[in-house]
Amino acid sequence: SQQGEEDPQALSIQEGENATMNCSYKTSINNLQWYRQNSGRGLVHLILIRSNEREKHSGRLRVTLDTSKKSSSLLITASRAADTASYFCATGVGKLTFGTGTRLTIIP
Amino acid sequence: EPEVTQTPSHQVTQMGQEVILRCVPISNHLYFYWYRQILGQKVEFLVSFYNNEISEKSEIFDDQFSVERPDGSNFTLKIRSTKLEDSAMYFCARGSSGGPYTRTDTQYFGPGTRLTVL
């Protein structure tokens, strides 16, 4: 079964605006993570939220988790050009299952 | 936390050839993982490796693939007879520092090896 589908697939916003990406999953989870991938590079861990948490913050990042809807959102506030990347949600312990990703472009 | 390093950054090979991709994690960590990402597609789990043994593998990880830690530090992924469809980015990851014996959920990825099979 597919696990972790992000939307939108692509998002372009002006620098300084907020960017919101969503992730849906199908099976029950212990936690959900968000990773960033710059073009052609490795994945960088951003934030992990556990199934008993509803919201978590890290700097300009805010993640929410709604286990009843099996969905999560990643909000990046005050976006910068350096935030241009693909963003993936991932679920699992050990074996991570990644979503399809949102390609975020910040326009200077 | 520092990432792992991977070599080579790009490998070009002929179909049917064997390739070995290398990962150099921080020493004495026990949990390692290999993933691949075909261009434009999802990152897919291949195999997890704990204490020098495979702990879990995906359907992709068939008999053409093998992993080992030959010298106690480097962690390798071998593809015995490459196919065109093996062309992808291959990422090594390690578990986070909950201590080398603790499997925590966060994984730290290397920069990847781009494998091109001609």
**Segments making up each domain of chain B, as ranges:** 5-97
Mark which residues 55-94 of A lie under 8 Å from B by CB: 88, 90, 92-94
pLDDT for res A17: 97
Reference A8, options A89, A72, A81, A103; nearest CA is A103
H-helix segments, chain A? none
**Burial class for B62, CB neighbours closer than 10 Å (0-12, 13-18, 19+):** exposed
CATH architecture of B5-97: Sandwich (2.60)
Question: Rounded distance, CA B48 to CA A22, Å?
Answer: 28
Contact B40, B87 (CB under 8 A): no
Q: Answer whether A95 sits within 8 Å of B48, measured CB to CB.
A: yes
Q: Which range, of A24-33, A39-48, B48-57, B103-112, averages the lowest pLDDT? A: B103-112
pLDDT number for residue A40: 75
| pLDDT tens column, A61-105 | 999 999 999 999 999 999 999 999 999 999 988 889 998 899 999
Label residue A53 exposed, middle or buried (CB < 10 Å: 0-12, 13-18, 19+).
middle
A5-107 CATH, one of 2.60.40.10, 3.90.1150.10, 3.40.50.720, 3.40.50.300: 2.60.40.10
| β-bridge mates for residue B95, sequence order | B107
Return the amino acid letter for A73.
S
What pLDDT does residue A4 have?
A: 66
> Going by C-beta distance under 8 Å and a sequence separation of 6 or more, which residues neighbour residue B14?
B82, B117, B118
Q: What is the mean pLDDT of residues A30-44?
A: 90
Q: What digits encode the pLDDT tens for the residues B2-52?
A: 568 899 999 999 999 999 999 987 656 668 899 999 998 889 999 998 877
Cross-chain residue pair B35–A101, CB shorter than 8 Å: no
Of B45, B58, B111, the CB nearest to A42: B111
